Amino acid sequence: MASEIHTQSSTSFKSIYVLLCYFVFAGFSVSGAEDSSLKGKVAPIKGEINTSLNEFGISLSEDGNTLYYYSKRKNSNYSDLLKSVKTKDGWSSGVEISELNSQYDDQSPFIIENEKAVIFSSNRDGSIEFKLGNGKIGVSRDLYFATMKDGSWDKATRLPQEVNTPAIEENPFLAGSYLFFTRYPFGKVAESDIYISEYKDGSWRKAIRMESPVNTEHAEIAATLSRDSKYLYFSSNRPGGYGGLDIYKVEIKEDGTFSPAVNLGPVINSPGDEAFYTETPDGKNAYFCRLVKEGGNYDIFEFSLNEWEELKKNKKISLESIHFRTGSFEIEEESFEILDRLVSFLNENPSIKLKITGHTDLHGDLSDNLELSRNRAAAVKDYLVKKGISVGRFTTDGKGSKEPIYPEKNPETDRKNRRTEFQILE
């Protein structure tokens, strides 16, 4: 079981070991968290996933097409794990994961890769028992691990005592061989802190409480890592926020040092609670959970980056999120939304003219790739013109496979090399 956990991640985390040393031993202090407001749009996630009940504790598969979370449904005394699948119209309604759920509370799932394995929190039979002050026996919520075999979830196994204790363990996030999670004493959610455990030489090391700027004397929960491994996100109710639990981030620098905690700002954070900031595969958009008002229910929200404000700021951006049919210059329907936002941007900025440049991956014939990239750039221009933007505001070009971002051929680098660049012409 443990060896499987160790291997279930394809993301590169070259700074994690140094990160561990700094966060655990450096004892840095936070003198007023900075605010780094994200620019973009927040709205309830599309589709049928949100209900009148709680949707909380989200985890996104590596390909971005499956979302796990937990909820307590009507006529149920316990919370259950659910999953939803992305469709062209949004997200499907949640389906209970019967193989993983028990007759107790099952919560905060973390999907490893594309459902190869999962870690979640539960107080099912087999969880650590302890004696309460009144002499009664209490049951903690512990972290459990299960693998997918032949399309079905195998029996879940509790992680060892180096991770699990009589306290509550929840909100797991596996980053390479490092497991981040939340821990707090039974019944004392206000004392939540984020812990980290390393899997090494076939076993888990004793979990250690992370120091400032992650943990403070206030509550901290739900650590997640950015797709590029440069940022650690978490929620906290420390002073200086916009409401209850706000989402913060710390930057993991190349030399192993890190920034003070940064509040993501009022677009993400509200007077209510926010948690579980989960980036999409391209690292540009994100999903998170929000409690709008006390006494209400958590729903899942989506943050969409305003790419075109970035274009205005930097004069040039490169997007891999504009998709075409394989070997074709026909634009996929899923790309219409981002292009429609470009139409709005151009209408709001009538003096801006753009150069549109297409790029392909490294597969195929050089001359064919060159022609394909030019046709794709022209197809983007044609779409914008049909939406009412003057044709005289565009020039197009194609570079084929001559200017790759990465010189390798694999699914990840292919996706990044297949891109459309937009440059503001002075």
DSSP 273-337: EEEEEEE-TTSS-EEEEEE-STTS-EEEEEEEE-HHHHHHHHSEEEES---B-TTS-PBPGGGHH
CA-CA distance, 422 to 397, in Å (whole number)? Answer: 10
143's tokens: 């972290």
pLDDT at 36: 58
CA-CA distance, 278 to 289, in Å (whole number)? Answer: 9
Closest CA to 58 of 171, 188, 207, 208: 171
Torsion of CA 386, 388, 391, 392, to 10 degrees: -170
Closest CA to 170 of 87, 51, 293, 79: 79
Domain ranges across the chain: 40-305, 315-424
Q: Which residues lie across from 83 on neighbouring strands?
A: 68, 95
pLDDT at 137: 86
Could you tell me which residues come within 8 angstroms of residue 363 by beta carbon, excluding any fewer than 6 positions away? 401, 409, 414
Could you tell me which residues come within 8 angstroms of residue 147 by beta carbon, excluding any fewer than 6 positions away? 1, 4, 116, 117, 153, 154
Give the architecture (CATH level 2) of 40-305.
6 Propeller (2.120)
CB 324 within 8 A of CB 376: yes
What is the per-residue pLDDT across 121-164, written as a single tens digit (0 to 9) for each? 999 999 998 888 788 888 999 999 999 998 999 999 999 999 99
CA-CA distance, 384 to 386, in Å (whole number)? Answer: 5
Closest CA to 279 of 70, 38, 8, 7: 38
3-state helix, strand, coil in the chain (%, to 5): 15, 35, 45
pLDDT at 37: 64
CA-CA distance, 290 to 301, in Å (whole number)? Answer: 7
Residue ranges, the chain, pLDDT below 50: 1-32
Closest CA to 6 of 174, 156, 147, 152: 174
pLDDT at 35: 55
Annotate 382-392 with b (16+ C-beta within 10 A) or e (fewer). Answer: ebbeeeebeee
Do you know the residue count of the chain?
426
335's tokens: 């790309």
CB 268 within 8 A of CB 242: no
CB 246 within 8 A of CB 237: yes
Q: What is the CATH number of domain 315-424?
A: 3.30.1330.60
